[in-house]
Amino acid sequence: MIDFELNETQQQIKSFVHMFAEQMVRPISLVADRDHGLPPEFLARVNEMRNAFTMGAIPKEYGGEGDGAGGKDKKGGRSANLTAAIGSEEMCWGDAAVVLTLPGPGLGGPPVRSMGTPEQQERFFGVFQKPGLHWGAYGLTEPGAGSDVAAIRTTCVKDGDHWILNGTKCFITNGARADWVVIFATVDAAQGRAGHRAFVVEKGTPGFRIGKIEEKMGLRASETAELVLEDARVPAANLLGGEDSYRTKEGFMGAMKTFDSTRPLVGAMAIGIGRAAYEHARDFVKEHYLLSRPVPRYRAIAERLARIARRLDAARLLVWRAAWMADRGLANAKEASMAKAYAGQAAIFACIEAIEVCGAPGAAAGSDHAFLDKWFRDIKVFDIFEGTGQIQRIVISKRILSGLKSF
C-alpha cells in the first residue's frame, strides 16, 4: 500500500533543500536569468555538497548516494526516486534553472545505470569523483525527432573497434559543458525502435563538436546546446550494455525506462515553480485584501487561489505515486506520463492565475513581481520537454486501451 508519510531522512532533505533554495538560490535567481548562467563560486559551493543534491543519481559504489538516497520507507523499500522528487520540487521553488545546471550526470545518469555494464558504470560515473566540476548529458532529441523518439535519424555504423556516428542532436541540457553525453542513434531507420543503439560519447571524441548554444525564453541560466556528429569515431566499448544486449529491443526500451524515472521528476520541478507563483500571489492577497469582507471580487480571488492549490496538490500526489512505483521497480509508464502531463498543466495554470491575481503589476517585469515574469517564462517548457503533453496523453490512452485490438 502506498504510504506518503515522509521518513526522517526525507524530512531533513526537504527542509535542508528548501532552506538552501530560499537563502542561496532565490537571491541570485534574477541575476542568473539576466546573465544566462550561474556564478562559478555558486557552482563550486554546490559541488562541495554534491551528494545532498544528486539524490541517488550516482551509485554509492562510484562516490554517490546510490539507492540509499532518502533512506528506506517503513517496509524497508527504496525511496531514491521519491526523495529526488521531493528535493527537486523544493529546489525549483527557488529556481528551476539551478536544478538543470547542477554538476552531475543529469539525465545521462539513468541510462548508464540501467543499461551500462559494471565496467561502463565505473568508467563514466567515476568522472564525478574527480576534482572540479563535471557534467553528464542526454542526447536523444533531434531537429526532426523529439517526442516521436522512434523517428531519430542519427546513424551508427560499425567499423572495426569503433562505431561511426553521424547526425545532429538539439536542445541538449548541459550539452556543451558535459564530460560525456548519452547519444541515441540507429543502425537502420527502417527498423524503427529495434534499430536504436545508445552510446556514451565523450568530450574530445574525433568528429564530435558543439553547435549553437540556444537563446531561450525561459530557464536562461541553464545551458541548452546543439551537438553535431560528423563521422564521430566512438569506441565499441562505449556502446551501452554491449552488442549482445541489442539482439532484442533493449536500445529503445532503455530510453523509455529513462523517461519512466525522469518524467515524475520533471513533474516535481514544475510543481516547484507553480508553488512559488501560488505562494507569491497568496502573500500578495493577504497583504492587500481583507478577504473576509463581502466583496464579490474578493470571493472570486479566494476561489482562484483555492483552484491553484487543489491542482498543485493533485499533481504532487500523481508525481509521488509514479516515483514510489519506480522505487519498487513496478511498471509505471502510464503513471509517469499522468504525473508529467498533469503537473505541467497545473503549474502553467498556477503561474497564469498568479499574474492575474496580482493584477497589472504582476505582468510588469521590473516591478516587485519580477519573479512572476520569470516563472511564467520558465514554466512553459515543462509541458514540452521529456515528451510533450500530447505525447503523455497518447501514452496514457494506449495503456488504458491496450486490451482493445482496434487501438
Pick the catalytic residue from 142, 226, 335, 386: 386
First to last CA, the chain: 31
d(CA 117, CA 108): 15
Which residues have a Cβ under 8 Å from the Cβ of 219 and sit 6 or more positions away? 96, 97, 100, 378, 381
Task: Tell me where in the chain the CATH 1.20.140.10 domain(s) lie.
Answer: 251-400
| pLDDT of amino acid 299 | 84
| Helix or strand (DSSP H, E) at 9 | helix 8-20
Return the CATH number of 8-106, one of 1.10.10.10, 1.20.120.550, 3.30.70.580, 1.10.540.10. Answer: 1.10.540.10
Q: Which three cell numbers stand for residue 83?
A: 526523495
d(CA 54, CA 87): 9
**pTM for this one?**
0.88
Task: Tell me where in the chain the CATH 1.10.540.10 domain(s) lie.
Answer: 8-106
Active-site residue, 250 included = no
| pLDDT of amino acid 165 | 98
- Which fold is adopted by the domain 129-248? Butyryl-CoA Dehydrogenase, subunit A; domain 2 (2.40.110)
Return the CATH number of 251-400, one of 2.30.31.20, 3.90.950.10, 1.20.140.10, 1.10.287.10. Answer: 1.20.140.10
What is the total residue count of the chain? 407
d(CA 389, CA 173): 19
| pLDDT of amino acid 51 | 59
pLDDT in tens, the chain (407 residues): 677 788 899 999 999 999 999 999 999 999 999 999 998 888 888 887 765 555 555 665 555 555 545 555 555 456 888 999 999 999 999 999 988 998 999 889 888 988 899 999 999 999 998 999 999 999 999 998 877 777 899 999 999 999 999 999 999 999 999 999 999 999 998 887 788 899 999 999 999 999 999 999 999 999 999 999 999 999 999 999 998 888 766 555 665 677 788 899 999 999 999 999 999 999 988 888 766 666 777 788 889 999 999 999 999 999 999 999 999 989 999 999 999 999 999 999 999 999 999 887 656 656 667 899 999 999 999 998 888 888 899 889 989 988 665 44
| pLDDT of amino acid 407 | 46
Q: Are 371 and 350 in contact (CB under 8 A)?
A: no
